[in-house]
Amino acid sequence: MKLEKVMVVGAGQMGAGIAQVCAQAGYKVLLHDLKPEFVERGLGVIDKNLSRNVDKGRMTEREKQEVINNLTASTDLQDAAGVDLVIEAAVEKMEIKAKIFAQLDNITPVHAILASNTSSLPITEIAAATKRPEKVIGMHFMNPVPVMKLVEIIRGLATADEVYQMIEEMTKTLNKVPVAVNDFPGFVSNRVLMPMINEAIYTLYEGVATKEAIDEVMKLGMNHPMGPLTLADFIGLDTCLYIMETLHEGFGDDKYRPCPLLRKYVKAGWLGKKTGRGFYEYESSHK
Ligand code: CAA
């Protein structure tokens, strides 16, 4: 079976990026969100990214138009009735994801694969909300999606080998590199990345160095493109805290306890770049 029609659920930063790379690879993509303004905002981000590609001579205006033509806005989940693949990139709450997957299970054709872009929630538990756990899988894209090469492909306990292979192939058509991972809290990416970020926050909390110095050490000393505190602001401090809590709860190990300073910033509403303030201050809350 060929995957041709895709629905992306959630038109936020990740959902819009996923829809963009799918549309660029020639898939017919429905970009779904609850309200028309959310979908419009996502399509606006895609338009801006594509225009940058045209300005830089990487794409013609006509090619841009072809990509745009592959995208359709959706505010009705019933539109998933004709798709081969759904990639869910909604909020990171198990109750919400379970509800969406149960609905999609009823709406989509029997052959359809249901994927989640969750950054740390168990695929096995999401799959349990459906009657097709063998067709449920994790596709964890990295931010910014159009730029980052990796997609972690997460097998749930029941994911069929054939489904894994189809998603691995599909990921390659997006010009991304699929990496196989099993279903454990944080998978590989966030199990390794988030404790590093959390430790950087502890380092700041304990007064070992300034935020600039911590970032500089990791940028210049380890060749990281962004220092960990800048990266935390970029990802969103609420997301970082949520993932640390998922690791802490999932493993029951205090080595994953979130730094109190991270909790404090989240309580203050200092969520990073998206709110204009995190460890650093930003002029504009939107890129
Ligand atoms: N959308 C699309 N393209 C973007 C972009 C965005 N949001 N941000 C940057 N780019 C593009 C730019 O257009 C530019 O492209 P060209 O050079 O081809 O014109 C390219 O990326 C480089 O951008 P800049 O020159 O502006 O800046 P930079 O060299 O500092 O790179 C960066 C920016 C790619 C974000 C780089 O700093 C980086 O790789 N940072 C680390 C990102 C990272 O670690 N991501 C993973 C986060 S963890 C995650 O996503 C998982 C999770 O579950 C939390």
Residue 285 has pLDDT above 50, yes or no: no
pLDDT of amino acid 12 = 95
**Tens of pLDDT along 70-112?**
999 999 999 999 999 999 999 999 999 999 999 999 999 999 9
Fold (topology level) of 189-275:
N-(1-d-carboxylethyl)-l-norvaline Dehydrogenase; domain 2 (1.10.1040)
| Confidence band for 286, pLDDT divided at 50, 70 and 90 | very low
Q: Determine whether the shortest distance from the Cβ of 287 to ligand 1 is under 6 A.
A: yes
Query: What three-state secondary structure class fits 245?
Result: helix
**Number of Cβ atoms within 10 Å of the Cβ of 188:** 16
Percent of the chain with pLDDT over 90: 97
- Domain boundaries for CATH 3.40.50.720 within the chain: 5-182
| Confidence band for 287, pLDDT divided at 50, 70 and 90 | very low
d(CA 143, ligand 1 centre) in Å: 7
Residue 219: what residue type?
Answer: K
d(CA 148, ligand 1 centre) in Å: 7
**Tens of pLDDT along 207-237?**
999 999 999 999 999 999 999 999 999 999 9
Q: If you write DSSP's letter for every residue of 115-177 in order, what string do you get? A: EE--SSS-HHHHHTTSS-GGGEEEEEE-SSTTT--EEEEEE-TT--HHHHHHHHHHHHHTT-E
pLDDT of amino acid 2 = 85
- Domain boundaries for CATH 1.10.1040.10 within the chain: 189-275
Q: Which atom of ligand 1 has the smallest separation from the CA of 14? A: 50
Percent of the chain with pLDDT over 70: 99
**Tens of pLDDT along 228-270?**
999 999 999 999 999 999 999 999 999 999 999 999 999 999 9
**Tens of pLDDT along 271-282?**
999 999 999 999
125-132: average pLDDT: 98
**Could you tell me which CATH number the domain at 5-182 has?**
3.40.50.720
Q: Determine whether the shortest distance from the Cβ of 231 to ligand 1 is under 6 A.
A: yes
